[in-house]
Amino acid sequence: MGDRPLDILNESLNAPVIVRLKGKREFRGELLGYDAHMNLVLNNAEELRDNEVIRKLGTVIVRGDNVVYVSP
């Protein structure tokens, strides 16, 4: 396991993750990439509400300053 927060993201590349954003929005998708600002690229992304898919989005870019947490 990594020692720094971005190490955990690196270990989660090409794997499914759940991303919680400000405003209580949640997305699930495969983490394709990230940068030092925690901007994320998700493939096959879906928006979730109460753990149920409310819409499928495909490939999305999530701005890092909106991210509350990323769960591998």
The confidence score (pLDDT) of residue 50 equals 93
Where in the chain are the domains? Answer: 5-71
* CATH number for region 5-71: 2.30.30.100
C-beta of residue 25 within 8 angstroms of C-beta of residue 46: no
Task: Tell me the C-alpha distance between 32 and 43, whole Å.
Answer: 6
pTM of the model: 0.88
pLDDT tens sequence across 12-66: 999 999 999 999 999 999 999 999 899 999 999 999 999 999 999 999 999 999 9
